[in-house]
């Protein structure tokens, strides 16, 4: 007789895993999470909440959903045996997308697919997810861990995440109000974030680079620079939106991920406008120049990477200085990146 465990799937290990991550999950819960038995089939979350201190009442709520992963950055984390940051990456890649339409993140779910479930080895991943959720102000409401020895090789795994948020219908930001004269205000990235790692890994293999070595100009080990987690911009966005509750001064927002500045800003431009970016307005972090010198072009770098810019606001010109002041008070270092001109929905550099 063949048992399920003999195929490589340990049901009891799965039960131990659910118990092991309970503390990480509950550390993200706020008053709108409906308390239920841990390990149930679904999580419950209250959209409206009447208690005065935590009051949330929506008139015309629009639910917002998105999903994303961290790609082959997982392979670098596995190679370095450092899994504590990719959970933060996972949350960031989702909630940064979600807030571009003005939404408040409500809850997050993760999907972890593994060769073999090793709770001690993988708990750092979920602790990272919980850390990201706390920073984003959303609950880690649930998730799924799939043990699939026939699909994943020993030591390998994959991550995906799903975020749900809400925004009032009249406060949705979709880029339709972008017009000539609007100003682009950018927030720096922490580095490469979570895009382009297939190219990164190919280049460091070609250059025979050592992840534990400190190379000239980087200021830290190559591995530290590459695993630096993706920044979460939720607080910065909400500080701006709360500062202008009546006037709709933000006309669009873009999370700069795969495709870089050109493709991601173009996603929120109407056909009648171009975004013109001043390339001298910021300087990418040293890791980008290091990667380029391993064997690719500056043009390719701008196609693939964020090049030091993680998030972009498009705001009415009269309010640009005020928005930058709000961002500075939130601990950010905003950059006046460029402006909107008459055009055909393209992003141009000057």
Could you tell me if 266 and 309 lie in one domain?
A: yes
In a domain, 177, yes or no: no
Q: Which two tokens stand for residue 19?
A: 């118990």
Could you tell me if 220 and 250 lie in one domain?
A: yes
Largest CA distance in the chain: 75
Could you tell me if 11 and 151 lie in one domain?
A: yes
Could you tell me if 325 and 281 lie in one domain?
A: yes
Please calculate the CA angle 263-267-269 and round it to the nearest 5 degrees: 115
In a domain, 62, yes or no: yes
Residue 54 pLDDT: 56
8 Å CB contact between 25 and 38: yes
Could you tell me if 150 and 222 lie in one domain?
A: no
* Residue 342 predicted with pLDDT over 90: yes
pLDDT bin (cut points 50, 70, 90) of residue 9 is: low
DSSP state letters, 44-63: -B-S-B-SGGG-B--SSEEE
Structural domains counted in the chain: 2
Could you tell me if 30 and 119 lie in one domain?
A: yes
Q: State pTM to two decimals.
A: 0.92
Among 47-56, 88-97, 147-156, 269-278, the minimum mean pLDDT is found in 47-56
CATH number assigned to the domain comprising residue 158: 3.30.1330.10
In a domain, 19, yes or no: yes
In a domain, 271, yes or no: yes
Residue 122 pLDDT: 85
Could you tell me if 192 and 300 lie in one domain?
A: yes
Residues facing residue 277 across a β-bridge? 338, 349
Could you tell me if 227 and 330 lie in one domain?
A: yes
CATH number assigned to the domain comprising residue 241: 3.90.650.10
Among 51-60, 154-163, 167-176, 313-322, the minimum mean pLDDT is found in 51-60
* Residue 179 predicted with pLDDT over 70: yes
Could you tell me if 144 and 195 lie in one domain?
A: no
The distance of Cα 320 from the centroid of its chain, to the nearest Å, equals 25
In a domain, 322, yes or no: yes
Residue finishing a domain among 171, 200, 230: 171
Residue finishing a domain among 171, 206, 239: 171
Residue finishing a domain among 171, 197, 216: 171
Give the pLDDT confidence of 231-266 residue by residue, as tens digits.
999 999 999 999 998 899 999 999 999 999 999 999
Give the pLDDT confidence of 194-213 residue by residue, as tens digits.
999 999 999 999 999 999 99
Nearest to 96 by CA among 329, 309, 324, 321: 309
Could you tell me if 163 and 203 lie in one domain?
A: no
In a domain, 87, yes or no: yes
In a domain, 94, yes or no: yes
Residue 43 domain boundaries:
5-171
Could you tell me if 24 and 83 lie in one domain?
A: yes
Could you tell me if 210 and 160 lie in one domain?
A: no
Residue 148 pLDDT: 87
């Amino acid at each position: 007789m063949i048992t399920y465990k003999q195929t490589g799937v340990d049901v009891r290990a799965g039960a131990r895993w659910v118990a092991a991550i309970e503390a990480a999950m509950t550390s993200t819960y706020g008053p709108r999470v409906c308390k239920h038995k841990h390990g149930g089939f679904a999580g419950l979350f209250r959209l409206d909440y009447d208690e005065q201190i935590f009051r949330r009442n929506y008139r015309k709520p629009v639910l917002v959903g998105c999903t994303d992963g961290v790609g082959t950055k997982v392979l670098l984390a596995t190679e370095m045996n450092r899994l504590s940051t990719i959970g933060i990456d996972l949350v960031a890649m989702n909630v940064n997308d979600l807030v571009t339409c003005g939404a408040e993140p409500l809850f997050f779910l993760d999907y972890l697919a593994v060769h073999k479930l090793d709770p001690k080895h993988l708990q750092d991943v979920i602790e990272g997810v919980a850390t990201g959720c706390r920073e984003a102000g959303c609950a880690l409401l649930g998730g799924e861990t799939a043990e699939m020895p026939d699909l994943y090789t020993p030591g390998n795994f994959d991550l995906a995440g799903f975020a749900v948020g809400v925004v009032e219908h009249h406060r949705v930001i979709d880029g339709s109000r972008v017009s000539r004269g609007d100003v682009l205000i950018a927030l720096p990235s922490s580095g490469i974030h979570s895009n382009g790692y297939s190219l990164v890994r190919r280049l460091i293999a070609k250059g025979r680079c050592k992840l534990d070595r400190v190379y000239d100009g980087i200021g830290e080990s190559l591995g530290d620079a590459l695993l630096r987690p993706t920044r979460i911009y939720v607080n910065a966005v909400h500080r701006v939106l709360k500062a202008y509750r009546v006037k709709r001064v933000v006309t669009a927002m873009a999370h700069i991920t795969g495709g870089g500045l050109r493709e991601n800003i173009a996603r929120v431009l109407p056909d009648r406008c171009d975004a013109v970016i001043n390339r001298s307005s910021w300087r990418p972090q040293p890791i980008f120049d290091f990667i380029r010198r391993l064997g690719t072009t500056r043009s390719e770098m701008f196609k693939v990477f964020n090049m030091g810019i993680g998030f972009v606001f498009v705001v009415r010109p009269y309010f640009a200085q005020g928005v930058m002041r709000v961002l500075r008070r939130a601990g950010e270092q905003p950059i006046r990146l460029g402006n909107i001109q008459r055009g055909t929905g393209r992003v141009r550099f000057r």
